[in-house]
Amino acid sequence: MEKFFNTAGPIIPEDHYYISSFERIDWEEIQHLIRQKRYFVLHAPRQTGKTSVLLEMMAALNDARQYVTLYANVEPAQAARNNVDAGVATMCSVIAAAAWIYLRDDRLRKWISDPGREVASGNRLSELLMYWAEINEQPVVLFIDEVDALVGDTLISLLRQIRAGYNHRPHSFPLSIVLCGVRDIKDYRIHRSDGEIITGGSAFNIKAKSLRLGNFVIDEVVALFAQHTEATGQSFAPGILDEVWEDCRGQPWLANALGHEMTWDDRSARDRSTVITMEQYQAARERLIQSRATHLDQLADKLKEPRVHRVVAHFLQATEQQEPSVDDLQYVEDLGLIIARPQMRISNRIYQEIIPRELTWVTQSMIPLDEHWYITPDNHLDMVSLLAAFQQFFRENSESWIERFDYKEAGSQLLMQAFLQRVINGGGRINREYGLGRKRTDLSIEWPVDRKHGYYGEVQRIVVELKIQRGKLETVIDKGLAQTAEYADKLNADEAHLVIFNRDPAVAWESKIWNRQESFAERHVSVWGC
């Protein structure tokens, strides 16, 4: 049976192309921590491969026969929220079921159905783990997945019961326990039913170390796609894997999702004798973005969190407020949204695309616009007419439309991007560059003029730079001209436009709306006021 790119659930080696977990983790360090009887954390963003890693480690440790190792996913206990009795009962049941599924050991299920149900919930989990450690001849290692899915008092009970049994290891408690989730435990903000907020670090102060599962490196992305070519004989046109890398930057789900879109969801590509073209890749990328798949939907949901908002607002150059805290930046990095080093930036090109699109998704679909008048008879974009139309649209609608955005501070830039996306979507593409400290948003538009040859033929390239007017207009223009010209030269753009938003409500629209032609270092730039 032909393998495929996996986009849901743990890796099944017989079914999926995959990169071995032991190429992605410091296996020597993990074994060392286990030998030292340490309790530690392994965390990574969603759909990075945590579960696959844990299952592969469990199998390797059990094959070595030095430990009895078990993986258990406690996410079902999330529904209990602050109901400790229900939450602990669910966690005990999940661990007992896992012992039967993976080890064919039924003793834990028998324990929770008889003596275990008489034990108070406040120590039932620790009693279960104590019983399990004592009945096994070999030391017990436990991997607990989705820990941070738990809520309130249920999560506190889990952490405290593990902490209570810590001193009894290894004979009467697991030798080593690994807690796995999206966040490091120090970032847990646990809201108890009585209103008290407890941090994860205070509830679980026995953590020896926190390890983070990283993304694929570029060689692993290439190796993943090479598995498809080797298995099917189907190749990818030159340049596609470079685009895949820039779009996903090694994020495992994105890499696999792009592969699946290209090789399976595009039915024409199921003929493995065909070479996958750049046009097919770009179409697959756009379908993935528009699909709002679970992974991308979860990303969008995170944008509403206050800690994420504080960070992303600065990336969008939306606000002059205080810089986000180190804790906020670390939290958003742990979610996989940003990369801190060597320079703070959005993690990959698709996330960079998704963030403004998601923030304007409804707006984009509601903008009333005839999508054909902006195309010239020779199939070029008429950017002058398009930006003039935006000025009028912005004048008439900005106040009411910006109020609908969650990120109102970035409303001007977001509304412009929604307007352009509404026009260009399907015929071309918009690339976005923005980041902490840039104080601008750079947009580059690629529009295939030759429909037959697409991106392999003539492509119209247009640069649009967005800036907020802070201070004197002429100073903003002078600086913006240099930045726009530099960006346009870098991309060898055919046109360059600088759009400056004046958000001062005291200034009349007649003074805000204008257009003039400027030049910088022999580069002509059209400057627009909004």
List, for residues 376-423, the tens digit of each pLDDT value.
Answer: 888 899 999 999 999 998 898 887 777 767 777 778 888 888 888 887
Give 207's pLDDT tier (boundaries 50, 70, 90).
Answer: low
- Residue closest to 39 by CA, chosen among 155, 170, 146, 151: 170
Flag whether the pTM goes above 0.85: no
At 335 the pLDDT is 84
Q: Average pLDDT of the chain?
A: 87
At 101 the pLDDT is 96
CA distance linking residue 343 with residue 326, whole number of Å: 14
Q: 315, 303 in Cβ contact below 8 A?
A: no
- Hey, which residues does 526 pair with through a beta bridge? 497, 517
Choice between 320 and 100, residue whose per-residue pLDDT is larger: 100
Identify the three-state secondary structure at position 410. Answer: helix
Identify the three-state secondary structure at position 236. Answer: strand
- Residue closest to 346 by CA, chosen among 436, 429, 457: 436
pLDDT digits (tens, 9 = 90+) for 422-455: 878 767 888 888 765 556 788 899 998 887 777 7
Contacts of 334 (CB under 8 A, 6+ apart): 43, 45, 182, 183, 184, 187, 212
pLDDT digits (tens, 9 = 90+) for 144-171: 999 988 888 888 889 999 999 999 999 9
Identify the three-state secondary structure at position 36. Answer: coil
Q: Is the pLDDT of residue 345 over 60?
A: yes
Query: Cis ω on the peptide bond leading into residue 174 (within 30° of 0)?
Result: no
User: What integer is the mean pLDDT of 285-291?
Assistant: 86
CA distance linking residue 529 with residue 209, whole number of Å: 53
Percent of the chain at pLDDT exceeding 90: 49
Choice between 197 and 496, residue whose per-residue pLDDT is larger: 496
Q: Encoding tokens for residue 47?
A: 């759909």
Torsion, Cα 96 97 101 107, to 10 degrees, reads: 40
At 2 the pLDDT is 85
pLDDT digits (tens, 9 = 90+) for 467-501: 988 889 999 999 999 999 999 999 999 999 999 99
- Hey, which residues does 189 pair with through a beta bridge? 199
CA distance linking residue 203 with residue 186, whole number of Å: 10
Three-state SS for 322-383 is: CCCCHHHHHHHHHCCCEECCCCCEECCHHHHHHHHHHHCHHHHHHCCCCCCCCECCCCCECH
Q: 156, 198 in Cβ contact below 8 A?
A: yes
User: What integer is the mean pLDDT of 269-279?
Assistant: 91
At 518 the pLDDT is 92
Identify the three-state secondary structure at position 456. Answer: helix
Contacts of 350 (CB under 8 A, 6+ apart): 247, 248, 254, 285, 288, 289
